[in-house]
Amino acid sequence: MTPRAVLALLRQRTRSDFRLGVYVVFGALAVVILLPIAFVRLAQGATLHAAVDFAVVAFIVGATVHAWRGGNLDRLGMLVAFAVASGGCIVATISPAGLYWLYPIVMAIAFMVRPRVSIPLYAGVVLWLVIEGDALAQTGQPLAALAAIIVNGVFAMIFAERTGERRVQLEQLATLDALTGAENRRALETELEIAIAGFRRDARPVALAVLDLDHFKTINDRFGHDEGDRVLQRFVQLVQASVRRTDRLYRYGGEEFVLLMPATDELSLQLAMSHLRSQIRNGLTVRGEAVTVSIGGAILRTGERREAWFARADDALYRAKQAGRNRLEIDGVD
């Protein structure tokens, strides 16, 4: 990828995933600020301090890369929060100036984990500083320094929690289809990249299915758009009730939907979509007439990009419709 494409992808993913954005900022700050400090300390002969700084930078960069590649951010957040809190306490112990690193560390923790995790960590940091004593004593105002860290942590936690609530509301508005409640095309594009990154990491099969309601324009023409909207809403309900919780449904446009199915090979996809097609045929009607669906599917290939992957599933859907509709076609399966 060109540098411009990399920057575009970086901007897209960090805008759509706030927590990932926190890790990217955290990693960038580690490289831009901590890494030069580590080299300066090494040049000055402060080998222990430099070693700690290099270790912290390596850990933060590694965590950022893991987050970027689609790692579990909940588990990663707890690991990183505990590690940076512990590292901050150690740095404060071996260097009087290290105490000041606890302020940004406390703020970062608030955005990485929930209060049920951050509160015990904050309490642990405060307890360590009180027991150790020297780091606070070096400031000349130990009680004031301790109070400042506590207040900083409380306000950071409140701000992070409120920001998180607002972010969830905005994400729902930005990524959900207002009519059906399924996720929208914007969310699909982001999740496809995450799915591809996960496949590159652990090689577990992942499937994509494109679903198109048969003769939907006729439904609108005969019964009106209100009835057509009801059919779309009922269709989404049936799909979500028929697939696994880990499967994600997106409205791609009009009467076309997309299913993203992790840990799904060709046989599993065929069985799941055959069952779904049967559920739609038996459970979706308009004025007593059955509504059917055509489905095209494809399993992600090694080294494949999302455009090519989606195109194969879409081509399979086209073959299903050309063969008479109410059919399932999977790319590469006769």
| Residue 195 is assigned to a structural domain of this protein | yes
Render pLDDT for 34-44 as a digit per residue (tens, 0 to 9): 899 889 989 99
Q: Last residue of a domain, which of 112, 146, 175?
A: 175
Number of domains comprising the chain: 2
Render pLDDT for 42-52 as a digit per residue (tens, 0 to 9): 999 888 878 88
42 and 50 Cβ atoms separated by less than 8 Å? yes
Same structural domain for residues 146 and 242?
A: no
CA angle, residues 232, 235, 239, in degrees to nearest 5: 140
Q: Last residue of a domain, which of 175, 199, 229?
A: 175
Render pLDDT for 90-145 as a digit per residue (tens, 0 to 9): 888 877 677 888 888 888 888 888 888 888 989 998 999 898 888 888 888 888 88
Strand 293-299 to strand 206-213: parallel, antiparallel, or no bridges (unpaired)?
A: antiparallel
Same structural domain for residues 134 and 223?
A: no
Same structural domain for residues 159 and 266?
A: no
Same structural domain for residues 83 and 201?
A: no
Measured between alpha carbons, how far is 127 from 227 in angstroms, rounded to an integer?
Answer: 63
Which residues, at least 6 apart from 239, have a Cβ–Cβ distance to it below 8 Å?
Answer: 211, 249, 257, 259, 276, 280
Report the predicted TM-score, pTM, of the whole model to 2 decimal places. Answer: 0.57
| Residue 180 is assigned to a structural domain of this protein | no
Same structural domain for residues 61 and 200?
A: no
pLDDT (0 to 100) of residue 22? 81
Same structural domain for residues 294 and 155?
A: no
Is residue 227 classed exposed, middle or buried when 0-12, 13-18 and 19+ CB atoms within 10 A define those classes? middle
Measured between alpha carbons, how far is 210 from 212 in angstroms, rounded to an integer?
Answer: 7
Render pLDDT for 167-191 as a digit per residue (tens, 0 to 9): 777 666 678 898 999 999 988 988 9
Q: Last residue of a domain, which of 131, 153, 175?
A: 175
pLDDT (0 to 100) of residue 135? 83
> Domain range holding 70?
3-175
Same structural domain for residues 130 and 98?
A: yes
